[in-house]
Structure 1
Amino acid sequence: MLERIRKVNETGAFNRWAGIEVVSAGDGQVELRLPWRDDLGQYAGYLHAALIGGLIDTGCGFAAATVAGPVLASHFSVNCLAPAVGTAFVVKARVVKPGRKQIFTAAELHAETASGTKLVATGEAILVPVEAG
């Protein structure tokens, strides 16, 4: 499963540009990592909210894909809890409830720092299975 999700990740131009890495994947769960680069920041030097949303969306989508194959997001939400500052960012996403027509997922985004990790955002997504195309 891990190799399949890594291959899907490599096909996404956004994911390649951002530098999103698939750390683990399987059984309704996924972990992604994004090393910090200055060009990922917003005006105050924090990870841009667009990247926060992208990590949560991607993590939830990949978690759903481990149980349902190809999926598309029909809805997602993000809660920014603290400024996203760190040397890298790790999103852990999981399937909350799988279904035939909708898959409910949740994710947490942590910043890695010299003093440990810090929860900086949470999110949820509803995904729908689609035919491989």
Structure 2
Amino acid sequence: MDILKMGQEILKTQPFSQLVGAELTGFEPGQAVLELELRDALKQQHGFAHGGVLAYLADNAMTYAGGSVLGNVLTQEMKINYARPAIGDRLIARAEVISSGKRQAVTRCDIFVLNDGEEKLCAAAQGTILSVEK
């Protein structure tokens, strides 16, 4: 099984990911792309993506990127900066490993909103992903 198919199978076992409608569209060693349709249920009262949805995308995309080099992992910590309101049709989170060792990986993730075919950066995150292998 290729790494993308394996990652997509793992995503299917995550109830919250299924609830929000996340899709793993890219996955290779050190990188992951997670997307979701920005439907009304994921917006806050002003009509743009809820910050928790952006944080979820960053967390999960960085965990995939880190897991691709470490195996079974959990997020140890993360920070997110919101750059602009996410108003559009689709959210795209692109994560990559910046540095990795035996037990942890430092990752970053840029989240874009797709609106009328144009991508705009709406958030940037960084996190530490920790191996839970024994």
Tell me whether the two structures share a fold, i.e. TM-score over 0.5. yes
User: Which residue in 2 is equivalent to 1:19?
Assistant: 21
TM (norm. structure 1) is 0.96
Q: 5+ unaligned residues in a row in structure 1: which ranges?
A: none
1:37 and 2:39 matched = yes
Query: What displacement does 1:69 show?
Result: 1.1
Shift of 1:101: 1.8
Matched, 1:28 2:30: yes
- Corresponding position of 2:68: 66
Runs of at least 5 residues in structure 2 that lack an aligned partner in the other structure = none
Please say if residues 70 and 104 of structure 2, whose CA atoms lie closer than 8 Å, have aligned partners that are also in contact: no
How big is the shift at 1:115?
Answer: 4.9
Seq. identity, % = 27
Q: Distance in 1 between matches of 2:115 and 2:9?
A: 29
Aligned length: 132
TM-score normalized with structure 2 length:
0.95
How big is the alpha-carbon RMSD for the aligned residues of Structure 1 and Structure 2? 1.1
Report Cα offsets for 1:81-103 as digits up to 9, x if no partner.
00011100000000000111211
Report the more deviating stretch, 97-106 or 53-62.
97-106
Deviation above 3 Å: which 4+ runs of structure 1?
Answer: none
Corresponding position of 2:123: 121
With over 3 angstroms needed to count, the CA separation of the structure-2 counterparts of 1:115 and 1:7, relative to structure 1, is closer
